[in-house]
Amino acid sequence: MKDFGEFDYVIVGGGAAGCVLANRLSADPDVSVLLLEAGNDEKWIWTKIPVGYLYCINNPRTDWCYKTEPEAGLNGRSIIYARGKGLGGSTLINAMLYLRGQARDYNEWAELTGDAGWNWDSVLPHFTGVEDNWRGKDEHHGSGGEWRVEQQRLCWEILDRFAEAAVQAGVPATPDFNRGNNIGVSQFEVNQKRGTRWSAVRGFLDPVRQRPNLTIVTGALSDRVLMGESEKRALGIVFRLGGEECVARARIETVLAAGSIGSPAILQRSGIGDPAFLQSLGIPVAHALAGVGSNLQDHLQLRTIFKVEGIKTLNQQANSLIGKMKMALDYALFKRGPLTMAPSQLGLFAHSSPDVATPDLEYHVQPLSLDKFGDPLHTFPAFTASVCDLRPQSRGSILIRDRAPDSAPKIAPNYLSHEADREKAARALKLTRRIAEQAALAPYKPVEYLPGPKFDTDEALAFAAGNIGTTIFHPIGTCKMGRPDDATAVTDSRLRVRGVAGLRVVDASVMPTITSGNTSSPTVMIAARGAELIRADRRNAA
């Protein structure tokens, strides 16, 4: 085994969390930091042009190309489970939507962990501290940070009419989804800068690459935590680089930032997890933690499609040579138009029933339609209104198949396995139909194409949800933080792995419950606060 050297901090994973951690920890010139990333230092043009997600997702160059196990809740289907590969992680390929969730999400974290440092008032400064918002600085937003937030640079009349229909159906308009309660309908704001994707590597890593105390290594596939022989302490990480097994040692801490799939898999290969499961694979138990890999939560979106008449959608433009030429020209000259498109442009947050205190449904509305991701757009004009349950009750798991670090784990989200989720799916599809029936859309004669009007009972709609449901790629919770008496908690409220010294997890896997919206920016916030906790603990130990 090659000795790669010793560093104060070894960060495993160069995605959103890893880029933030590398930035913040290396700001101290007295410590040395190693950042390991299994993918490349990606310079591909499609990781810069916003619409490039069409070419990056399910492409082994930029995506791990995972798939779920066949899901009973999806009527036996297995679906793609994209995770970004390369420095920047999923911010290279994601939807670029800037959303924090709701104040109630973080207040719930504070209750579940017993730590007020995770409540809304406490985390808000971490959101605003990294933010560079187009509005400038105010009580809700920050300016001058690394995480650029802008308005979208295109508009579609069909989306404006859908927004009007939503208001007619009882959902108010809102100017801002990120003030603690995201009720309403509005255009999404995006992590872009002048029409280009603003990834975590551009925002947090590129400006500090030349720091002499920061070492960045790509193509480094992390295998397992190096554990002490006489004590439960992490000493570093074992990884593969260029076909050779290497070890990097950490003087202070090893920090896993490999995401909700990667971090639990590394722990399991290290012998940290459920003893019965580890023993079934012949892995010696280094430390028993039953919750590793459990508590997987995700947002399942239900893709409804409506054909329309007499109004432009991307279907017509993208299927026309002249339309394609115009799109290319708009982008080349002005960095505007469809090539700047996030996967969804219009957002809507609503209540599934009057009994829900804050919005529990999120819509991603698009001026286009296709049968499934990767397929060509339909030739007929249409829009897609995808709706997801923001707070699903179903829980899944991430479990390694064997001890090999290059083996894809078993991903089992268990979508719609909880009856409450099935009931809410039916209510969500009914709300979508109610919006489509409003006067604002009537001139365009919307006709439901998917799932189809034949699904007309709650039971039938719940079944249809299994046909049309797909992930929005928001896996969280597989190394959740919790109180000391929570037997399923993997980390404490300071993100330290329980019972193992010198080891933390700082990424989306520590969320105990999923946020009420997209999870990229909450992950950035977790990393910013995690870095602060790491530095504070070092000062206190000195």
Catalytic residue positions, numbered: 474
Rounded CA-CA distance 364/349 in Å is 9
Provide the 3-class DSSP secondary structure of residue 326.
helix
278: Cβ contacts below 8 Å, ≥ 6 apart: 268, 271, 284, 285
Provide the 3-class DSSP secondary structure of residue 389.
strand
Rounded CA-CA distance 248/438 in Å is 61
Q: How far is CA 218 from CA 12, 15, 40, 221, 542, in A?
A: 11, 12, 5, 8, 32
Provide the 3-class DSSP secondary structure of residue 388.
strand
Q: How far is CA 333 from CA 43, 320, 329, 330, 388, in A?
A: 22, 20, 6, 6, 36
Max distance between CA atoms of the chain, in angstroms, equals 74
Rounded CA-CA distance 194/364 in Å is 22
Residue 8 phi, psi dihedral angles, 5° rounding:
-70, -45
Rounded CA-CA distance 504/492 in Å is 9
Task: Identify the helix (H) or strand (E) that includes residue 217.
Answer: strand 214-218
Neighbours of 223 (CB within 10 A): 21
Neighbours of 9 (CB within 10 A): 26
Closest CA to 522 of 268, 297, 222: 297
Rounded CA-CA distance 352/431 in Å is 8
Torsion of CA 68, 73, 76, 82, to 10 degrees: -20
